[in-house]
Chain A
Amino acid sequence: MAKKVASTGNEAVANAMRIANPDVCGAYPITPATEIMQRFTSFVSNGKAKTEMVLAESEHSAMSACIGAAAAGGRVATATASQGLALMWEMLFIASGLRLPIVMGVANRALAAPLNIHGDHSDGMGARDCGWIHLYSENAQEAFDNMLMAFRIAEHMDIRLPVMVGLDGFITSHSIETMEYLDDETAAKFVGEYKAMKPLLDIKNPVSYGPLILTDMYMEYRKAHDEVMKKVPGVVLEIAAEYEKLTGRKYGLFETYRLEDAEIAVVVMSSAAGTTKDVVDAYRDKGVKVGLLKPRLFRPCPYEQLGAALKHCKAVAVMDRADCFGGSYGPLFQDIASALYTQPTKPVMINKIYGLGGRDYMPDQAEKTIDELIQIAKDGKVKSVKEYIGVRE
């Protein structure tokens, strides 16, 4: 029986990395993911993980070291956030294009300028289309579970793609919560042995990584990447089912909360989903048919399943903890709108931008959003599709 402990989100991620025992970790710590690396390097120093630490001079170099090590044939993991993830951007595409199963914890944080170190999804959304698999976590427990499952997803022989696991900077990375660790032996068995695929160090079968692919072949590789992405949701569910048998904790492509018979719904990712669920309960007690959907597998985006889960609603609010500048809606709104586009029935949709740069997301913000949805469901009148909430006017 797993025992309940107090842990920060970062500690949970570091422990998942210790259990997976990577061969190599290229690292350049950054707030609020610093504690992941600090704790993990302590594990390495104390012999609890047999990982070769490569402490690089920047995140670009850290990811480059991870790429080299993964191509050489090792299990590789690292962690970063914000500016660090932004600096890795070029190498993120190389990791995914070379189909290297690197696992990375990301303590999601705002992007400068203005400089800000707090919880926000701008970093993850900026890396949205880099060919990685993205999983997002509501709390420390989910961060731990997602990290363990991330190794299995990334290293699955049908997938072989890098995975980033998001947890909200400070809100989840630094808060101490109660959670359950899986005992090391069971967890290590679940993660399993690493199987290298065409490693550079197999000198009997020499290979080269990173060739020039021009007009005659580039599209074929891009199409192959898109096709392998299509297999990801199935593998994510298969591994989640196996994990559920060990832990009793159920994971899907997304979580639905009181959504089945809901007339109105809120779509919200990561830690803010917890606050919103409480408010959903309060409205349900008053007889309001409101539900919630919390994306977990953000990339590849399970459009069909998301659309099917929301199509029966009359009105849906999508909460974005990041904005896409240039007159556009928030990134999550765009995905949910795309998911519903192909459905025969569609709810009226609104987009709220909340919590940027760690601004507190309070229950009254969820209440006001739900009140607005109730009104839209009644009269169909939308005063503004996109709105910043919790901002001084």
Chain B
Amino acid sequence: MKTWKEVNPGAVVTEPGSARKFKTGSWRANKPKWIEENCIHCLLCWVYCPDMSIKVKDGKREAFDYDFCKGCGLCALECPGKKGQKAIVMEQEDK
């Protein structure tokens, strides 16, 4: 950890992409769970996630990135799922 003598004046961040090191996953109280069989890969969760915590590869939804997911629940709210069965549900973090 830097001392007051070492910090950048004005807290200017000089290392591009360093937000990656700031893992916000520990803030989570509720955790989204992906139920793959209900997923239609519409990617609405990817669109709505404010933290880029939905991984996508070749147009298909992949696992959550729990390092950064803050558990806001937006993805679960927006998810249409399959035939009324949600593909994302929120669970208590300690479960």
Beta-carbon contact of A198 and B11 below 8 Å: no
Scan residues 1-17 of chain B and give those whose CB is less than 8 A from a CB of chain A.
1-5, 7-14, 16
Nearest Cβ on chain B to A235's Cβ, whole angstroms:
15
Taken residue by residue from 4 to 37, chain B's Cβ proximity to chain A (1 for < 8 Å, 0 otherwise) reads as: 1101111111101000000000000000000000
Q: Please, which residues of chain B bring their CB within 8 A of the CB of A224?
A: 4-5, 7, 9
Q: Please, which residues of chain B bring their CB within 8 A of the CB of A97?
A: 10-11
A98 to B10, CA, bound (A): 4
Is A328 close to B, CB under 8 A?
A: no
Beta-carbon contact of B11 and A207 below 8 Å: no
Q: Please, which residues of chain A bring their CB within 8 A of the CB of B1?
A: 216-217
Beta-carbon contact of A160 and B9 below 8 Å: yes
Q: Please, which residues of chain A bring their CB within 8 A of the CB of B2?
A: 217, 220
- Partner of B10 from the list A100, A206, A217, A219 (CB cut-off 8 Å) is A100
Q: How many residues of A contact B (CB 8 A)?
A: 24
Q: Is the interface of B mostly helix, strand, loop or mixed?
A: loop
A160 to B11, CA, bound (A): 13
Is A205 close to B, CB under 8 A?
A: yes
Nearest Cβ on chain A to B50's Cβ, whole angstroms:
14
Beta-carbon contact of B13 and A208 below 8 Å: yes
Taken residue by residue from 179 to 216, chain A's Cβ proximity to chain B (1 for < 8 Å, 0 otherwise) reads as: 00000000000000000011000000111111101001
- Which range contains the number of B residues in contact with the other chain? 10 to 19
Is A341 close to B, CB under 8 A?
A: no
- Partner of B14 from the list A205, A210, A217, A219 (CB cut-off 8 Å) is A205
Beta-carbon contact of A99 and B14 below 8 Å: no
Q: Quick one: closest A residue to B3, CB to CB?
A: A220
Scan residues 216-260 of chain A and give those whose CB is less than 8 A from a CB of chain B.
216-217, 219-221, 223-224, 227-228
- Partner of A227 from the list B4, B8, B13 (CB cut-off 8 Å) is B4
**Most chain A beta carbons < 10 A, residue from B1, B2, B10, B16:** B10
A385 to B1, CA, bound (A): 48
Nearest Cβ on chain A to B53's Cβ, whole angstroms:
17
A160 to B7, CA, bound (A): 15
A247 to B8, CA, bound (A): 37
B-side residues, CB < 8 A to A, are 1-5, 7-14, 16
A-side residues, CB < 8 A to B, are 97-100, 160, 197-198, 205-211, 213, 216-217, 219-221, 223-224, 227-228
Question: 18 A-B residue contacts at CB 8 Å?
Answer: A98-B11, A100-B10, A160-B10, A206-B16, A207-B12, A207-B14, A208-B12, A208-B13, A209-B10, A210-B11, A211-B13, A216-B1, A217-B2, A220-B2, A221-B7, A221-B11, A223-B4, A224-B5
8 further interface pairs, Cβ-Cβ under 8 Å (given A160-B9, A207-B12):
A97-B10, A98-B11, A197-B9, A209-B11, A220-B7, A221-B4, A221-B7, A224-B9
